[in-house]
Structure 1
Amino acid sequence: MRAIYRILRGGVRQTYLLFAVLFVPVLLAPSAPAEAAVFQVSDIRVEGLQRIAPGTVFNYLPVQVGDTVGDDVTGGIIRSLYQTGFFDDVRVERDGNVLVIWVRERPAIAEIKISGNKDIETDALNKALADIGLKEGRVFNRSVLDRIEQELERQYFARGKYGVLIQSTVSPLERNRVAINIDVTEGLTARIKQINIIGAKAFSEDELRKRFQLGATRWNSFYTKNDQYSKQKLAGDLEALRSFYLDRGYIKFDIKSTQVSISADKKEIYVTVVIDEGEPFRVSDIRLAGEPSVPAEKLFPLIQLKRGEFFSRKATTESAERISSLLGDEGYAFANVNTVPEIDEKAHEVAVTFFVDSGKRVYVRRVNMKGNTRTRDEVLRREMRQLETAWFSADLVRKSRERLQRLGYFDDVSIETPAVPGSADQVDVDVTVKEKPAGNLAAGVGFSQSQGILLNASITQNNFLGTGKRVSVAFNTSTSTRLYQLGYTNPYYTVDGISRGFNFSYRETDYDELIGADYSTDVGVAGMSFGLPITDTSRAGLGFRYEYTDFTAGQSEIAQQFVAENGNTFNTFILSATYSDDTRDTALFPTSGFTRNLFGELAVPGSDLQYYKINYKEQHYVSLTSRFVFSLTGDVAYGDGYGDIDYLPFFENYYAGGPRSVRGWVANSLGPREISTDDPVGGNLKLVGSVELFAPAPIGGQFEKSLRLGAFFDFGNVWSTDDTDLLDSTGFDLGDLRYSTGLSVTWLSPVGALSVSLAFPLNEEDGDDTQVFQFGFGQTF
C-alpha cells in the first residue's frame, strides 16, 4: 500500500509540475493590445434616416473621416446624437474601416387637437405649446408632452378648477408620424367656503376678513370673483392683514401658518390663517439723525407720526418718502432716508429714528435729447422744467416728462439721470423719446340717432416739420350739418408759452333735420386765438373771430319774425375768453381727477347782432375701489342780447336731451316749443347734470380696458327767459327739470367707439319725446 501511495503521490507532483510548466508562463505573460477595436475612419455611413438629412447628422458628429475611433469615442458619438432629441435609438458599428451609424428617428407631429377647453382659449394654448416645443412638424418628445400636461393642470389650478382632468392620446400615423389629441375636462370651479382666522383677540374675524379680497361666495361674486382661490391673491391678502396690524401698533404681529384645504369633491376650499397679534406699541419719541442738509424745522412737519399714538408702519414709510422727496427737490439726488425703531418690550413703546443722509447737492451738467429724429430739440427743451447748470430737482424732472407726454408727438418718453463719471455732485438728464408718425390722414363714418349718418375726413399735422406747430384741414358732413375747416396753431408763439392760432370754417346747418324746426343757417368764420399756460394743468385763452351768417326762415313763425325784425344776413364780430383745467389721469376712461371749462363770448358793439353767452362745465372722477369709479357732472349756460336786440338770437340757443345730455329723451327735444309747429327751439338758459357709477365689464380679458359699464342718474332742461307769445313756455322754473335713470355701455371697439344706453324717464310730461334705447357708433380708418 505504501508503495502504491508513493507512486500516486509522485504522479500528482508530476501533474502539478506539468501544469505549471505549460500554463503559468501564459498567465504571467503581458496582455497584447486590442488593436482590433481601434481603427482609422475611411468613410462614415448613416443608416435608418427617413426625414432628417444626413448632413444634419454629420453636423452633430464629434468625428470626421480620417479620425481614429475606439470604444471611448463611440460612446461620445451616441451621446451627441441622443442629445439632439431627434432619435429614439442610436447604435455605432464598424464595417471594415467604415464607421456605420444606425439610428431610429423619433416620429414627427402631424397634427395637434385640443378639445374641452373653455377657460383658456385654443389659440393661446397652441402658442404656449409651440413655445415649449410641441408644434406640428416638430419631432415628438414624450417628456415634453408630460411637462405640458403638468403645466396645464397648474394653469387650471390657478383658476380654481381643481377637478380638471387632462388626457393626452398619441396616435401613430404612416411615414413615422403621430397625431396628438389633448382632451381637457375642466370640471367646476372650486369656491371658497370659509376663511378662518385663529388667534385674533383685538379685532373680530369679520373685521379682519374685510381686509381680504378673497372670501366666501356673495351675491356679487360672479362679478368680483372673490370666491375663486388664488395663491397670489391670498399672499396679497396676508400682506394686507399684516399691514393692518402694523399700522395699528402691533409691531410683533406674526402669521404663524396658513393652511388651504379642499373638500373631497374638489368643489369647496377652506382657508385657515393662524396669527399671533402680540401687544400694541405706542410711539415714545421721534428723532432725526444723520446729516440732513435741510433744516429740521422743514423736515419734522413731513413726519406723520405723533408721540403717544400707536405706531404705524404706513405713516413711517410715507414720512421717509416725503423727506426723501423734499431732499430730491432741493438738489440732493442721492439722498437716503432710513427708519430705525428702538423697541422697549416692557413698556410696549417704540422710539423711531429717521437717519438722513443727504449726500452732496447735485446739479445738472447737461440735458441730452435722444430719439427725436423729426422733432427739433428746441420743441423738447421748451417743455423741460429741469434746466442745465441748475440744481437737480426730482419734481421738475417729473413735470418735464409729463409735459413731454402731453405734447402727443411721442409714443413713449423716458428720462434717466445718470451720475457723471468721476464727479460726485453732477448728473446728466437723458431724455429719450419714441416718435409717433408725423402726420395723420383720417377718414371716418358713423351713425347717431340725432344726426343720422356721419362722414368726416381730415388731414392733421400735429408736429408740422418738427416745429411743434399744428396744421389741420377737416371735412364733416351728416344729414343735418356740413362743415369745412382749416386750422393752424403755434403753441409757442412767444418763448413764454403763449400760443396763437388761426381758424377758418364754413358750416351749413339744416335745423329741420337736426331738431325739427324749419329754418337753416350758413355760417362762415375767420378767427384768431391766443392761449396762456397758467399751471401745468390749466390754461386761459382769448380769441377774436368774424362770423358771416346767412339765415333762411322756412315755415317757422319764430324764424320769420326774427327775419322781419333783424334781416337774414349778419356780420358779427365776437370776442371770446376761455379757462380750462384738466387733471384727469387719462383721457379715455379716467379714474381720478377733474375737468373744468369756463367759456364766454361777446358779440362786440358794432356787430349786426349784439349778444353774449357764458358756459361753465365741471366733471369729477373719484376712484371708489380698484374697479368702481364715481363721476359727477354739471353744465350751466346762459345767453342774452343787449343794445338793439334784447334777446339771444334763437339760432344761438342751447339744447338738452339725448345721449350727451339728458338720456331717455330724444336729442335736442327738451325745453320750449314753438306753438304753431310744436318744434323744439331750445332756450337761452341751460342746466344739465349727471351722476354715474362706472365699472369695467366683468368678463375681463381683452375687454378689461376697452369695455365700460355705467349706472346713471341724469337731470336737466333748457328755458327761455324772454317773454314771447310764440313759445309754449317762458321763464325759469326748477320744476321743469327732467330726470332719468338707466344703464350705459361704452366699447372702444377696433373699428370705433360704440355707446349704448337704456334710460328710463322718471317724470315725463305730455308732449315729451322719450327714447329708452339710444346709441352712437363711429369708426376711424
Structure 2
Amino acid sequence: MKSKFLPGLIAALFASPALAFEPFVVKDIRVEGIQRTEAGTVFSYLPVKVGERFSEEKASQAIKALFATGFFKDVRLEVENDVIVVLVDERPAISQIDFVGIKEFEKDALKKGLKEVGLAESRIFDRAVLDRAEQELKRQYLAKGLYGVQITTTVTPLERNRVGVNFNVVEGEAAKIRQISVIGNKVFKEKELLELFTLTTPGWMTWYSKSDQYSKQKLSADIEALRSFYLNRGYLDFSIDSTQVSITPDKKDIYITLSITEGEKYTISDVKLAGTMVVPEAELQPLVKLKAGDTFSRDSVTASTKALSDRLGNEGYAFANVNAAPEVDKVKREVAFTFFVDPGRRVYVRKINFAGNARTRDEVLRREMRQMEGAWYDGAAINRSKVRLDRLGYFEDVAIETPAVPGSTDQVDANFTVKERATGNLMLGAGFSSAEKVILSASIAQQNLFGTGNAMTLQMNTGRINRTIALSFTNPYWTVDGVSIGWDVYQRNVDPTSLSVATYKSSSIGGGVRFGYPIAEDDRINFGLAVDQTKIDVFDTSPAPYISFVNNFGDTARSLVATAGWARDRRDSFLYPTSGVYQRASLEVATPVLDLRYVRGSYQHQHWFPFGGGHALMINGDVGYAHGYDGKELPFYKNFYAGGIGSVRGYQQSTLGPRYLDANNYTRSLGGNRRAVANVEYYFPMPGQGKDKSMRLSL
C-alpha cells in the first residue's frame, strides 16, 4: 500500500476526506533530503515513534512541527507499507556575511547587531530575517544623519546548500541642520531659546561634537529643555503645538521648526503642608523652596518634594510619599500648592550585604558604612556610604538597593553591589610641560594591596628640573576610627638652572612617617615626621645669599621636619568643579634636633560659583610664609615662587618676586619667604562642544 500526502501546508490546512487513510502501527521512520540537519533532530519533532499508531491528526501535527523549526522550505510525508518517509527540502545556511563601503561603523559591531535580529553566520538563511536586518542597518545610518545611504543586498549560492550574504553600502554625506526655528515666542528671543539646544547649525567645532547632525533623541531632549526653561520661569500653560522636521530632496539639509504657545506667567499664592507630620512642621517648612509671591518654578516644586522625602527618609521612613497638589487660578494667574505628606511605616535596616567584591575584603567596604545594621533607616547615611565607596577608587560602579525583608513590614536590607576595577598598574609614560619640557615617568602602584585597602607605590620620573624616585605605603584604617598611617622614602634631584630662577642644584634623600585623622565627613587633619638630607651645589653665577648660605652652613644640610595639615573639600566634582569650596592649610617645621631651623606655612582657599550650563567663576587665594629661627636662616631652596600655570597665568614659571642680574647679565628670580596670590578665573565650555565635559576653557 502506498499513500502520498500533499505538500506541507496544503496537507496541514486543507486535509480532505478523499485523502484519508486508516490509522496504522508504524514499523519504521525514514528521513530523506537532509544535508546538514541530523536525522535525530527530525525525529525529535515528530509526534509519533516506531511502534505507535499513526493517524491523520498526527500527520498534520508532524508537518506543522517541522515547518515551525524554520529549517526547511518544504516538508512532505509518504507512507510505504506502514513505514513513514519524511521528505524535506532544507533551507540554505549562511556561510559568510560581508560588508562593502562601510566607514561609519566597525564591521564586528555590525555583525553583532545583526545577530540580535537573527542574521548571523552558520544560521539558517531566511529572506524575511534578511529584510529585517537590512532595515535595521538602514535605521542605524539614519540615526547618524546619513539619510542618503543606499544599501544593496546580494545573496550568492554556494556549494553544500550554503549562501553568502553581501551588504554593499554607499553611505553618502551626513545631512546637516541648516536652520532651527522657534515660532510663537514673544517674551524670550529666539536666540536665547536656541542656546538651550544641543542640536545646532554647523559651526567651527561641530565637526567634533556632531551637534549639527539631526537625532530624534537629541531633539526630544532639547524640547524637554525648552519646556523646563519656561516652566521654571512661571509659564505654567506653556505648550509645544507642533514639531516639524523636513529634509531637502537631495537629503543633505534639514530644517527644524517648533511652534510654541508661551501662555501667561503664574505666581505662587500660597504654600501649605498637610498629612501626617512625624517630623515637626517647623522643621519641614524650611525645606519647601516655594514662597508666596514667588514666580512658579517646576524645579522648585520637584526640589521641595525631594527634600521633604529625604528628610523623612533620614528618620527611618524609607517609603515616604510626598505629593504636591496644585490649585490653579487662571483668572488671577496664581497657583497654590499643598504638599501632602504620607510617611508610611518606619523601618530599620536588618542587614548590610555586599556583592561583586571578589578581591576586596568585606571589612574594607563595611568600614565605609555610615548606615549601621539594626539602626533606623537613614537615607542620608546610606547615600553617604555609597559616596565613600565611590571615593575609594577601587570600583567602576556602586549600586544600592533597599528591598523589604520578606514577611516583615518594618525591615529592609541594604544591598551594595560593586563592580571592581583594576587597582594595580604598571605605568610607563612620557609628557611635556612648558617648564620641564620632556618628562619620562614610570610607576608601579597597588591601591588595594591584597584586597586590604592599603596602598603602595613605587614612582620614578625624570624631567628637566625634577628627578625623583619614591616609595610610599599607606594604611587608611590603621585604627577602626579611621586614623591612617603611612611612610615614604625618596631621593630627589632638583636642577632649576633652565628656569629664570637663581642657579643652584640640590640632591635630597629622606624618609618619614605620617598620620591622618578624619574630624568630619569632608575634613581631615594630618601629621608627619621626616628626616631629610640635602646636598647643595652653587656656582659662580649663583647669587651672593646662596653662596653665603653654603659657606655658613656647609653644602650638606640635615633636618628633622615635623608637618601638620588640614584639608576640606566640598566641591561638586574633583575633575570638573562648578560649585563648592576647597580649603587647605599646611605647616612645616624643621625641629632644632639637626642642622636646619625654619618654619614654613601656607593656606589656600578656593570658592566656585556656578552659572549654569557648565559656566563657573572660581576665586582663589593662596598665601604662604616662611622664616628661620634660633639664629638660623631659611634655606633658600625653601623659598616661595610665583608665576606660571597654577599660580599667576601670563608669566613664565617662577619669574615673579625678587630678581637679580647674574654674572652673564641675565635676570633671574630669587624667590622669597612670603607669597600672596589671588586669582579670579571664569570657566566655560568650549564653543560648539555642547554639553560634553571632556574639556573647557578659562579666562
TM-score bracket for this pair, using the shorter chain length? 0.7 to 0.9
* 1:147 paired to 2:139: no
Paired positions, count: 676
In the TM superposition, residue 253 of structure 1 has moved relative to its aligned partner by 3.8
* 1:501 paired to 2:486: yes
CA distance in 2, matches of 1:572, 1:308: 66
Letter of the structure 1 residue corresponding to residue 428 of structure 2? G
Q: 2:552 aligns with which of 545, 561, 565?
A: 565
CA distance in 1, matches of 2:360, 2:395: 10
The residue that corresponds to 2:253 in the other structure is 268
* 1:233 paired to 2:193: no
CA distance in 2, matches of 1:253, 1:452: 58
- Asked whether the equivalents of residues 462 and 469 of structure 1 are also in contact (C-alpha less than 8 Å), the reply is yes
- Asked whether the equivalents of residues 564 and 587 of structure 2 are also in contact (C-alpha less than 8 Å), the reply is yes
* 1:605 paired to 2:604: no
Q: 1:101 aligns with which of 55, 80, 86?
A: 86
The residue that corresponds to 2:101 in the other structure is 116
How is 1:442-461 mapped onto 2 (pairs within 5 angstroms)?
442-448=426-432, 450=436, 452=438, 454-458=440-444, 460=446
- Asked whether the equivalents of residues 662 and 668 of structure 2 are also in contact (C-alpha less than 8 Å), the reply is no
How is 1:659-738 mapped onto 2 (pairs within 5 angstroms)?
672=659, 675-676=662-663, 678=666, 683-684=671-672, 691=681, 693=683, 708-711=694-697
TM-score between the two structures when normalised by the length of structure 2: 0.83
The residue that corresponds to 1:539 in the other structure is 524
Letter of the structure 2 residue corresponding to residue 446 of structure 1? A
The residue that corresponds to 2:273 in the other structure is 288
- Asked whether the equivalents of residues 529 and 562 of structure 2 are also in contact (C-alpha less than 8 Å), the reply is yes
* 1:305 paired to 2:305: no
RMSD of aligned residue pairs (Cα, Å): 4.0
CA distance in 1, matches of 2:621, 2:88: 80
* 1:651 paired to 2:637: yes
- Asked whether the equivalents of residues 209 and 689 of structure 2 are also in contact (C-alpha less than 8 Å), the reply is no
How is 1:211-222 mapped onto 2 (pairs within 5 angstroms)?
211-217=196-202, 221-222=206-207
The residue that corresponds to 1:735 in the other structure is none
- Asked whether the equivalents of residues 412 and 434 of structure 1 are also in contact (C-alpha less than 8 Å), the reply is yes
The residue that corresponds to 2:4 in the other structure is none
- Asked whether the equivalents of residues 209 and 690 of structure 2 are also in contact (C-alpha less than 8 Å), the reply is no
3-state DSSP of counterpart to 1:258: strand
The residue that corresponds to 2:570 in the other structure is 583
CA distance in 2, matches of 1:481, 1:248: 55
- Asked whether the equivalents of residues 686 and 697 of structure 2 are also in contact (C-alpha less than 8 Å), the reply is no
Residues 373 and 550 of structure 1: CA distance in aligned 2, closer, same or farther (over 3 Å): same
3-state DSSP of counterpart to 2:306: helix
**Worse-matched range after superposition: 577-586 or 154-163:** 577-586
How is 1:109-508 mapped onto 2 (pairs within 5 angstroms)?
109-200=94-185, 203=188, 205-217=190-202, 221-223=206-208, 225-368=210-353, 378-433=363-418, 440=424, 442-448=426-432, 450=436, 452=438, 454-458=440-444, 460=446, 462-463=448-449, 466=452, 468-472=453-457, 474=459, 483-508=468-493
- Asked whether the equivalents of residues 493 and 499 of structure 1 are also in contact (C-alpha less than 8 Å), the reply is yes
- Asked whether the equivalents of residues 529 and 560 of structure 2 are also in contact (C-alpha less than 8 Å), the reply is yes
Residues 220 and 580 of structure 1: CA distance in aligned 2, closer, same or farther (over 3 Å): same
In the TM superposition, residue 355 of structure 1 has moved relative to its aligned partner by 0.8
- Asked whether the equivalents of residues 690 and 712 of structure 1 are also in contact (C-alpha less than 8 Å), the reply is no
C-alpha offsets along residues 696-738 of structure 1, whole Å, 9 cap, x if unaligned?
A: 898999xx78xx445456xxxxxxxxxxxxxxxxxxxxxxxxx
CA distance in 2, matches of 1:582, 1:56: 67
CA distance in 1, matches of 2:205, 2:469: 50
Letter of the structure 2 residue corresponding to residue 651 of structure 1? Y
Letter of the structure 2 residue corresponding to residue 172 of structure 1? P
**Worse-matched range after superposition: 273-282 or 392-401:** 273-282
CA distance in 1, matches of 2:341, 2:680: 49
- Asked whether the equivalents of residues 623 and 629 of structure 1 are also in contact (C-alpha less than 8 Å), the reply is yes
Residues 401 and 162 of structure 1: CA distance in aligned 2, closer, same or farther (over 3 Å): same
Letter of the structure 2 residue corresponding to residue 683 of structure 1? G
Residues 85 and 365 of structure 1: CA distance in aligned 2, closer, same or farther (over 3 Å): closer
The residue that corresponds to 2:9 in the other structure is none
CA distance in 1, matches of 2:521, 2:26: 80
Residues 137 and 284 of structure 1: CA distance in aligned 2, closer, same or farther (over 3 Å): same
CA distance in 1, matches of 2:573, 2:457: 24
3-state DSSP of counterpart to 1:64: coil
TM-score between the two structures when normalised by the length of structure 1: 0.75
In the TM superposition, residue 356 of structure 1 has moved relative to its aligned partner by 0.9
- Asked whether the equivalents of residues 670 and 682 of structure 1 are also in contact (C-alpha less than 8 Å), the reply is no
- Asked whether the equivalents of residues 25 and 51 of structure 2 are also in contact (C-alpha less than 8 Å), the reply is yes
CA distance in 1, matches of 2:72, 2:448: 60
CA distance in 1, matches of 2:421, 2:685: 31
In the TM superposition, residue 682 of structure 1 has moved relative to its aligned partner by 5.4
CA distance in 1, matches of 2:680, 2:131: 57
CA distance in 2, matches of 1:697, 1:71: 75
- Asked whether the equivalents of residues 375 and 463 of structure 1 are also in contact (C-alpha less than 8 Å), the reply is no
Bigger relative CO (Cα 8 Å, ≥ 6 apart): 2
CA distance in 2, matches of 1:479, 1:637: 26
- Quote the sequence identity (%): 46
CA distance in 1, matches of 2:501, 2:272: 74
- Asked whether the equivalents of residues 542 and 662 of structure 2 are also in contact (C-alpha less than 8 Å), the reply is no
CA distance in 1, matches of 2:179, 2:498: 61
Letter of the structure 2 residue corresponding to residue 583 of structure 1? R
